[in-house]
Chain A
Amino acid sequence: MKFYRCELHTHTVSSDGKMTPEELVDRATECGYSAIALTDHNTVAGVKRAVDAGKKRGLTVIPGIEWTTFYGHLTVTGGGSDVLWRDITPDNIDEKIARAQSLGDVVTIAHPLRMGFPLCSGCHCVYDRAKLAGADCYEIWSHYYPNEGVVAQKQLAEWLSFLDKGCRMAAVYGYDWHNRDDVPPSYACTYVGAESADGKDVLAAIKKGATYVSVGVEADCAAIVNGREYPIGSELPAGETRIRLTCTKSEDYRSDKPAELTRFAVVTERGREEMPIRFGKTAEIITTFDKYCVVEIYGERKREEQLLAVTSAFYRGGAR
């Protein structure tokens, strides 16, 4: 298994993006992604062209759509879903999520706490959270300056509250890529730990929860229980758990590279434990938990300490 840089939330001229499908694929290739998902608003009109362009450039393009409803946005990736966005209501959103999943797709709650009306109507998610509990992923970070500010903090807290309720939801980032961005703004990416960068493998890995989001940090993170090593997203057996972490700087990251790491935290339903860490050094935290265990990595970036990466969870207690 290897972690691939992926961007799972993109738009083209088929909706309100500025790039054609071919331009998006060219740009994503230049930017060094292994896989992208095309998630235009309420249409898959650009998918075939993007997939074809991806085949020519050696870039995986996962077919998808962004359900752009009045009550919130969800990206649906895999290309299997037959759900029509106008049929989705606050009463049936849970059934629509389950329907898309039954057809093999991955459903992600997109930028749930972003400001909506009147700036970006529908962008702020007002769906009953209990009806979103079955989603596969939660965009804890989104768009430009993703790890900074109040919305990112609140989304991280909300995602943890889903995990606390027993949900198995992977943490992902959504660039929500609309423009070419020749001068790249601060952005993040989703790393997916997959067998290959092939679309099926990437989606299967996301479903397993083998992801982390990051601004310029590549993380090698595993849980060790009874001498056996488990990747992010794993259900762990009972026993003392060592969370082992080694980080390097991402070569591909285009802007606002982190200067140095400062510490990492293991966050569980019981609380948090912290330990100093530096680039290139391995550190461990021994922890106990019954539900979930998430790793947060902090470091110096833009001359201040920031949260630079968040892993999806290691789990205990069986699937929801």
Chain B
Amino acid sequence: MQTVLDGIYVLTRKDMSTHRAIPFTVPAGARRMRISVSYDPKYNFDEEYGLALIEKSMKEQIGELIMTKGEMRACLPIDNHLSFSLDSPLGAVGTAHRGNNSQEFEISETDANGGFYPTPITAGEWTFTVSVTCIVTDEIKVSLRIEVGE
């Protein structure tokens, strides 16, 4: 496998509800792609902060508290959530939306996993997009490695 992208990307609270597009180039002759992505931290273990944020958000969104303190506590720790999309020169290749902070995807013309579609590993400009669904820590560090091979 040949590594076509290997990077670390830092997201901050300002990136909440935004898409970070990361372009990369696929050389001719590739038939499969492996994407390894992980991010850290997943959780904010500050219980006091978590409870206060849940309570404040619930009042804003619902207009009243619909959980007891105990029920709120059961929701801790609050966590970050990122979702990942892929676009090839031919168009959208799908989205991976789940809570795991370490995921690996394999894509080829005949197979794909994790929310992506089988697609030819066409030479040219591709884009990996990190969508920041939720950030509850000051920073999230995203490690991304994309490899292609025959």
Quote the shortest CB–CB distance from B52 to chain A (angstroms). 11
Which applies to chain A's interface (DSSP): helix, strand, loop or mixed? loop
Whether B97 pairs with A16 at a CB distance below 8 angstroms is yes
How far does the alpha carbon of A14 sit from the alpha carbon of B57 in the complex, in Å? 30
Give which listed residue, A44, A45, A119, A149, contacts B75 with CB less than 8 A.
A119
Whether A121 pairs with B133 at a CB distance below 8 angstroms is yes
Whether A45 pairs with B57 at a CB distance below 8 angstroms is no
Give which listed residue, B17, B96, B98, B112, contacts A70 with CB less than 8 A.
B17
Contact with A along B95-117 (1 / 0, CB 8 A): 11111000000000000101111
Whether A84 pairs with B134 at a CB distance below 8 angstroms is no
How far does the alpha carbon of A113 sit from the alpha carbon of B78 in the complex, in Å? 20
Chain B, range 117-150, C-beta contacts under 8 Å to A: 117, 129, 131, 133-134, 136
User: Can you name the residue of chain B whose Cβ is closest to the Cβ of A113?
Assistant: B62
Q: Does A34 contact B (CB under 8 A)?
A: no
Contact with A along B51-87 (1 / 0, CB 8 A): 0011001100111101000000001001001010100
How far does the alpha carbon of A118 sit from the alpha carbon of B57 in the complex, in Å? 7
Chain A residues, CB < 8 A from B115: 14-15, 40-43, 45
Q: How many residues of A contact B (CB 8 A)?
A: 28
Chain A, range 147-177, C-beta contacts under 8 Å to B: 149-151, 154
Q: Does B19 contact A (CB under 8 A)?
A: yes
Give the size range of B's interface with the partner: 20 to 34
Known: A16-B98, A115-B61, A117-B57. Is A86-B19 also a contact (CB below 8 A)?
A: yes
Whether B136 pairs with A42 at a CB distance below 8 angstroms is no
Known: A15-B98, A45-B115, A70-B133. Is A119-B62 also a contact (CB below 8 A)?
A: no
Q: Does A144 contact B (CB under 8 A)?
A: no
Whether A14 pairs with B62 at a CB distance below 8 angstroms is no
Give which listed residue, B17, B54, B58, B95, contacts A41 with CB less than 8 A.
B95
Whether B97 pairs with A118 at a CB distance below 8 angstroms is no
Quote the shortest CB–CB distance from B145 to chain A (angstroms). 22
How far does the alpha carbon of A40 sit from the alpha carbon of B131 in the complex, in Å? 16
How far does the alpha carbon of A149 sit from the alpha carbon of B67 in the complex, in Å? 10
The listed residue with most A CB atoms (<10 A of its CB), out of B19, B112, B115, is B115
Q: Does B90 contact A (CB under 8 A)?
A: no
Q: Does A200 contact B (CB under 8 A)?
A: no
Chain A residues, CB < 8 A from B41: none
Whether A121 pairs with B134 at a CB distance below 8 angstroms is yes
Q: Does A85 contact B (CB under 8 A)?
A: yes
Whether B94 pairs with A45 at a CB distance below 8 angstroms is yes
Quote the shortest CB–CB distance from B20 to chain A (angstroms). 11
Chain A residues, CB < 8 A from B54: 118-119
How far does the alpha carbon of A200 sit from the alpha carbon of B3 in the complex, in Å? 46
Chain A residues, CB < 8 A from B134: 117-118, 121-122
Q: Does A68 contact B (CB under 8 A)?
A: yes
Q: Does A116 contact B (CB under 8 A)?
A: yes
How far does the alpha carbon of A86 sit from the alpha carbon of B19 in the complex, in Å? 8
How far does the alpha carbon of A41 sit from the alpha carbon of B133 in the complex, in Å? 12
Q: Does A242 contact B (CB under 8 A)?
A: no
Q: Does B1 contact A (CB under 8 A)?
A: no
Chain A interface (Cβ < 8 Å from any Cβ of B):
14-16, 40-45, 68, 70-71, 84-86, 113, 115-119, 121-122, 124, 149-151, 154
CB<8 Å pairs between A and B, sample of 8: A15-B95, A15-B97, A15-B115, A40-B115, A43-B96, A45-B115, A86-B19, A121-B134
Q: A43-B116, A115-B57 are in contact. List 10 more A-B contacts (CB 8 A).
A: A40-B115, A41-B97, A41-B115, A42-B115, A68-B133, A70-B17, A86-B19, A86-B129, A121-B81, A122-B133
